């Protein structure tokens, strides 16, 4: 291995939870690789934040909806180039709508990005981590996968699928000392949730026993813990970071 720097790969690291995870993992000492879909600038900003604090980071364009692009990315940038300690499958999207009005593309695109994209990243990472005989994979799912959420049939199905994937991957990869866990954020203040109107926000607040929305930093702390040596005996779990919203 030419570069033995311990590396964490965070998909969709331009903003929100992905950026917070990238920054937090850098604080834990990992070199952090961040992927973005189309706009390089916010991803570079994530890298700048890390570098300003003395960390190492790089960002790469990667369309998570393109399985061949994922295979190529791992082959060209990861395999035999870095020691891939951590994969955070964070990249995801929403295209909300009531299920009776949901079009095929609306359904399939969200499944393709959130579920299939995470699967192919996990598959590629697993091949590398199996050889290393160590690795940590964290899939970012959602409280809505556990509770359901009107208007998000596609999103909740994709995120619930990720929970099944997490458990099977945990069982298959355990013999190679690779842990696979899911983190299920509740209502987190990000771009994905900032578009909701005041009425809906207040409705959610009533559902959260801790009476506040979470921050992306709350999620990042949990991800960093699952990546740490302290979490070596935890695998196949879904850790809620939701203020008690779903128990």
Catalytic residues: 155
How far apart, in whole angstroms, are the C-alpha atoms of residue 144 and residue 56?
Answer: 34
If the CB atoms of residues 105 and 172 are measured against other proteins, the closer one turns out to be 172
Query: Contact with other proteins (CB under 8 A): which of 41, 54, 104, 175?
Result: 175
CB of 124 to other proteins, least distance (A): 12
User: Which span sits near other proteins by CB under 8 A: 44-52, 171-179, 180-188, 189-197?
Assistant: 171-179
**Which of 39, 93, 37 has the alpha carbon at shortest distance from 63?**
37
User: Which span sits near other proteins by CB under 8 A: 22-30, 38-46, 136-144, 172-180?
Assistant: 172-180
User: Which span sits near other proteins by CB under 8 A: 95-103, 169-177, 219-227, 231-239?
Assistant: 169-177
Interface with other proteins, residue 176, by CB under 8 A = yes
CB of 131 to other proteins, least distance (A): 7
Interface with other proteins, residue 71, by CB under 8 A = no
Residues that bind other proteins in the complex, under the rule CB under 8 A: 127, 130-131, 172, 175-176
């Amino acid at each position: 291995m030419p570069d033995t720097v311990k590396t964490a790969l965070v998909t969709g690291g331009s903003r929100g939870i992905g950026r917070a995870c990238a920054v937090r993992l850098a604080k834990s000492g990992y070199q952090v690789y961040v992927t973005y879909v189309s706009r390089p600038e916010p991803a570079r900003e994530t890298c700048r934040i890390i570098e300003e604090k003395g960390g190492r980071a790089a960002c790469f364009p990667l369309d998570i909806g393109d399985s061949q692009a994922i295979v190529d990315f791992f082959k060209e940038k990861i395999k035999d180039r870095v020691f891939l300690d951590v994969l955070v499958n964070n990249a995801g999207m929403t295209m909300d709508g009531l299920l009776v009005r949901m079009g095929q593309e609306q359904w399939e695109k969200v499944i393709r990005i959130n579920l299939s994209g995470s699967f192919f990243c996990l598959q590629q990472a697993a091949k590398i981590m199996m050889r290393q005989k160590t690795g940590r994979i964290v899939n970012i799912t959602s409280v809505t996968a556990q509770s359901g959420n009107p208007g998000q049939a596609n999103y909740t199905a994709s995120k619930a699928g990720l929970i099944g994937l997490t458990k099977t991957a945990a069982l298959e990869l355990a013999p190679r000392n690779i842990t696979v866990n899911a983190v299920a954020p509740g209502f987190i203040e990000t771009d994905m949730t900032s578009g909701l109107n005041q009425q809906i926000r207040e409705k959610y607040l009533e559902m959260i026993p801790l009476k506040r929305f979470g921050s992306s930093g709350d999620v990042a702390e949990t991800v960093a813990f699952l990546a740490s040596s302290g979490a070596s005996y935890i695998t196949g779990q879904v850790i809620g970071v939701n203020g008690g919203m779903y128990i």
